[in-house]
Chain A
């Protein structure tokens, strides 16, 4: 401000010159469609600990394997307190049973009755379970716990084993039970006078 007070004319000329320079530069970095060059390149190796998602085809499943029996042992130490014996009657979500109940008045949504993909089970257990210690299980342990939960739902025999090849091939009972959003399925009406309440 003081510069303007002391040399108003010089300041004005300077400001005009500066604004001309600025407007000339201005169009360069913000041109639509041009990257700004911000951010740091990141290599796949750097991302290994974050890049843990498993897709519906099983892409991303790590090497390793686990058996139903090993899974039961882990379940009974790490999971049973919340999910209950046999994946039922716990304080957390029910994991087993409910098959055939979805179209009834008392549907029971479990891994076996509702989840469309077994890959989701591995992905979720690996990223978010056990609740008191997320991302603490090794891949073999996640395969094992997944195998046990599938076994509780009759989807893997007692001597079963899961790995990256077999997990995506498990056919979940509700695999075809989902449809992409097809709303509007309910259309309200704008009656103003002598309407039928609730209609």
Chain B
């Protein structure tokens, strides 16, 4: 057996296609420090298979199934563990000012099913009647206008795939490593196809006054949450979204309207959007001063830090999982950047000493989750798995040590350090810091 594996694109049962810019990993030795892997390859036994046992014809083949599915389809009853959860060990003080996390280890491809998109609310989920809801655009405009949902549906529709990540995602990693799952550590992350109206089109409708430089976005929930948005971003690529993954927004995602600012921190993508007010300067709302600012070791804070930096995480194997047998494993994960496309993802199994380029699932989209994978022969010994993303602007995901050296441990938001998963000889996988 050679000390490397064929590229996953050649395997049956996978849709992964090698990115044209990436050399297939199978043409090289997977690890430069190949002794571990070569030794493993020489002694590996395949997973145990029962021999000679006849495959039975099960009950579901011998009788009719249920009638055509009901009004709204649900996952198989066997998938009941694939659910959003609150962070392990963190019951919220106020259930309506809380979050739930996407089960990153149990989803596939790059699109997050609507029922599994992470939540973060500040005053619960309002039940908004779309007939009564209005979006008002006013302030420094020529024609203040009120739009009903019906009005917005008459504008040209735009659909784009973008990730959404809370600025506080992975925030527990500023602290000593806790043995949490990838869902608990990094699950404030999802990716949808969003459909709506270009905000630039609506701003054209109201006519922006020349002195306008910022706009205030406000929600209709009981937090009436507000964030200031630079006008340049609003005109560049902002969407007023009414649908996700082919259906109207879920209530917890802002039904019937939300703001979407591609690549920018989750909080500013204001849900239940009811008002946009144009002005000359940021409003200095609570959510852009007391929260979502990054406190640095010298006591100053970084403000209006909107863009989410390049980041990746291995979702399998990941924290809390147990490798049941030695031999072939499929390392897989997600990469993303608020600056642009993912250009490449490197994977290490020795805690960052040696790296190999992973295969990216295509198409690789701008500011969208990108799936990567790499086969791995596990010899049963200890290993530390890491992934490191590079984006189309050449930004390289930093290590945790590099982040902390620059920012200390109190900045709370915008953690994008390399994640390390320790694999023990028992097969258990744990979050560690190297």
What is A's interface to B at a CB cutoff of 8 Å? 30, 33, 35-36, 38-44, 46-47, 50-56, 91-93, 102-103, 105, 107, 109, 111, 114-117, 119-120, 123-124, 127-128, 131, 134-135, 177-199
Contact = CB atoms under 8 A, between A and B. Distances in A.
A107 B410 contact: yes
B329 interface: no
19 contacts: A42-B136, A42-B138, A53-B218, A53-B226, A53-B277, A92-B93, A102-B299, A115-B289, A120-B290, A127-B224, A134-B222, A177-B299, A179-B301, A183-B307, A188-B398, A193-B355, A194-B32, A194-B353, A195-B354
A56 B299 contact: no
A198 B309 contact: no
Interface string B377-409: 000000000001010000111111111011100
A172 to B, nearest CB: 10
A56 B285 CA distance: 8
Query: What is the interface of chain B mostly: helix, strand, loop, or mixed?
Result: loop
A116 B289 contact: yes
A189 to B, nearest CB: 6
Contacts of B178: none
Given A30-B156, A186-B402, A120 B407 contact: no
Given A35-B204, A39-B205, A186-B398, A56 B284 contact: yes
A33 B322 CA distance: 58
Interface string B422-434: 0000000000001
A39 B222 contact: no
Contacts of A128: 122-123, 222-225, 286
Contact of A193 (B32, B138, B410): B32
B8 interface: no
Given A55-B279, A103-B299, A117-B284, A35 B205 contact: yes
Given A109-B295, A179-B301, A195-B352, 11 more contacts: A36-B155, A41-B146, A42-B136, A102-B295, A105-B410, A114-B289, A135-B224, A178-B301, A186-B405, A190-B346, A194-B353
Nearest to A181: B305
B340 interface: no
Given A55-B281, A119-B284, A195-B354, A190 B146 contact: no
Contacts of A105: 410
Given A35-B204, A40-B145, A197 B289 contact: no
Interface string B249-279: 0000000000000000000000000110101
Interface in B209-260: 216, 218, 222-226
B434 A38 contact: no
B289 A178 contact: yes
Contacts of A189: 396
Contact of A107 (B143, B289, B290, B295): B295
A198 B32 contact: no
Nearest to B226: A53
A193 B145 CA distance: 59
Interface string B337-375: 000000000100001111110000000000000000000
A183 B144 CA distance: 36
B286 A187 contact: no
A183 B305 contact: yes
A53 B216 contact: yes
Contacts of B309: 183-184
B151 interface: yes
Contacts of B282: 56
